[in-house]
Amino acid sequence: MLKYDCIFFDRDGTVNYDPGYISNLKDFKFFDFSMSALNLLTSITNKFIVITNQSGISRGLVKENDLIEINNYIMDECVNNNIPLLKIYYCIDHPDRASDRRKPGVGMFLEASEEFNLDLSNCLMIGDSISDIQPANNLGMESMLVLTGNGSSHQNIFSNNDAPNYCAENILAGAKLLVE
């Protein structure tokens, strides 16, 4: 039986290494455990969506065509591993000129909810930073902080009111926690 309508997840630092701005496909590398984790999570949802800030475009460090190539690679890898990834939402806003689409804003989540008819109160967000957890909390979603990427440096920033529901060493440990 499915537990979540959809699991949203961040990209950099959550499912792949985050060396900084990833400007081309050759610099993109999934964590070795990411596909295993996502496969395990298919027992509690049949929908995944990536929600990612990509300000490298507005900063002039990444070309949007290169980001699209990386996104296509992610989609292809998910298809090849039977992961039901519906879509990758990305926001190119510079943090100094951010719209509500840029996390911790909720815009991309609301777009996904409308496009795929999702009940956000029955969804989970997995990410490695406070900006991943805040929108989930604001929308009544459950949330999980993974300690990869920025997670270990962000885990002590939360107050009791805005803490994630779960915290895990990485997305695989988190998947095991949710499934077992």
What's the pLDDT tens digit per position in 69-79? 999 999 999 99
Predicted confidence at residue 158, as pLDDT, reads 86
CA 170 to chain centre: 13
CB 129 within 8 A of CB 52: no
- Nearest CA to 153 out of 129, 172, 170 is that of 129
Q: Which of the residues are catalytic?
A: 10, 12
Q: Which residues of the chain have pLDDT under 50?
A: none
CATH topology of domain 6-179: Rossmann fold (3.40.50)
Predicted confidence at residue 143, as pLDDT, reads 97
pLDDT in tens, 58-109: 999 999 999 999 999 999 999 999 999 999 999 999 999 999 999 999 999 9
Quick one: tokens of 101? 């689409």
Name 161's Cβ contacts closer than 8 Å, sequence gap at least 6. Answer: none
Domain spans in the chain, listed from the N-terminal domain onward = 6-179
pTM: 0.96
Predicted confidence at residue 1, as pLDDT, reads 55
CB 117 within 8 A of CB 123: no
Distance CA 161, CA 16 (A): 29
